[in-house]
Structure 1
């Protein structure tokens, strides 16, 4: 594990070379979900790297995993801050040229914001269970997650992956349940995305409906959709092989 300083904050990250590297393939940056971290991806980024020839680069955002804690309270603009400032600075610090961006849930929203609102110019954008607006099902899912947090051993489980699991969870739920966040929407950024997009959604997602990726397809210029049956909010865990195959085919299409 390595660290890189972004705006004075140390972020943990790891670089995973492909078992089948190709000279013509840029790196792929993995952006975790609202409760995620480097270690919570487990071996999935390595499998994608091996299937695509891309180097996988995985990092934990501020306050997550073993990265430095946040120095101020999270605001309702936090996804914009991550997509428009932190992610471009990370890409620049590592000297990455037109990387692929792979984002899950919140990470998918961050990837879309970066692709449509900065000069990073990704080769392609892969979003898995992303959010572009706030749905009632999302709010209800987070309320249920709060009950699970308060009544099960979820805090102990999450503590294995974060220096401060309680702050990770509270910050995530507090923003999404904040009434001011109810109007959050990034559909206006979608037409500015010039890179090809692969959007993947599970039919049984407990935090979103297919409307999320359908709106991405309606707003962005070049979008492939993959809708997976028997799949919840983490397609890379529920249907890993289907996701890997879709990503590998997408990379080939982009680079062909």
Structure 2
């Protein structure tokens, strides 16, 4: 397997992009999987999952660091409350055009799952499938409680420094972008309903049964509100990171799901 790294110039700065290429033939034949990372995530924090996903599905996998995260440019402003929709409308539109891709599979973890859903809604003729993992479609009390606990935990230098390995001098901004945005009272009414209602492609919603940041109402909302065929996969004895906690099961269910996608 080959990998390719590049930096893409967009109006907000540079974004770091990495592509896992199974082989050139499949790169031209099958729609690649675009990964959207979670609130504290980055390309590197996906670890070896993208490579495993590429091998399992025989599709290229592309991941990128959002502005302010990982190896991408520093973000000097606080996140807007519509940052999930804004990510697709702003950053992703440039990425899509720059890579010259016609068809994609959108996949996201946690808040990235919401971004992937917006992507499927706004690119209905390009997005052949949507995969969400531990994704939120609305704000729940359990989500806010989990964030409050994490905010306290990250005051511990050990946890902060562990995250700083991936975000360097952007680490405090990354933490604040997560905690202060979600805990903002004005964000409480946020939901993805109007975007989910526009999703027409096949959908797979993966969720850990013991997810500490969301109830099962979240994945159920994804499968109930979309217009296309939808599958729900609840993974027992699993929390917020199924692709790390139960990688073989996650890869298998994605492989089976995408086997029915022609593009």
Decide: shared fold, TM above 0.5.
Answer: yes
Candidates 115, 130, 135, aligned match of 1:125: 130
Q: Does residue 208 of the first structure (1) align with residue 210 of the second (2)?
A: no
Distance 2:79 2:56 in 1: 36
Task: Tell me the secondary structure at the aligned position of residue 261 of structure 2.
Answer: helix
Candidates 19, 22, 27, aligned match of 1:15: 19
Which runs of at least 4 in structure 1 moved beyond 4 Å after TM superposition? none
Task: Tell me the secondary structure at the aligned position of residue 258 of structure 2.
Answer: helix
TM-score scaled by length of structure 2: 0.93
| Greater shift in the superposed pair: 200-209 or 212-221 | 212-221
Distance 1:39 1:50 in 2: 18
| Structure 1 residue aligned with 2:6 | 2
TM-score scaled by length of structure 1: 0.96
Query: Runs of 5+ in structure 1 lacking a partner?
Result: none
Quickly say closer, same or farther: Cα 1:133–1:8, change in 2 above 3 A: closer
TM superposition shift of 1:217: 1.2
Distance 1:64 1:235 in 2: 22
Candidates 69, 72, 79, aligned match of 2:74: 69
Distance 1:149 1:234 in 2: 18
TM superposition shift of 1:38: 0.7
State how 1:26-175 maps to structure 2 within 5 Å. Answer: 26-118=31-123, 121-163=126-168, 164-175=170-181
Quickly say closer, same or farther: Cα 1:254–1:119, change in 2 above 3 A: closer
Task: Tell me the secondary structure at the aligned position of residue 230 of structure 1.
Answer: coil
Q: Deviations over 1:92-115 (max 9, x none)?
A: 111111111110001100010111
Q: Deviations over 1:107-135 (max 9, x none)?
A: 10001011113456211111101111000
TM superposition shift of 1:84: 2.6
Distance 2:249 2:71 in 1: 30
Quickly say closer, same or farther: Cα 1:152–1:70, change in 2 above 3 A: closer
Query: Runs of 5+ in structure 2 lacking a partner?
Result: none
TM superposition shift of 1:19: 6.1
| Greater shift in the superposed pair: 8-17 or 21-30 | 21-30
Aligned residues: 256
- Superposition RMSD on alpha carbons, in Å? 1.6
Task: Tell me the secondary structure at the aligned position of residue 64 of structure 1.
Answer: coil
Task: Tell me the secondary structure at the aligned position of residue 162 of structure 1.
Answer: helix
| Structure 2 residue aligned with 1:226 | 233
Distance 1:201 1:152 in 2: 30
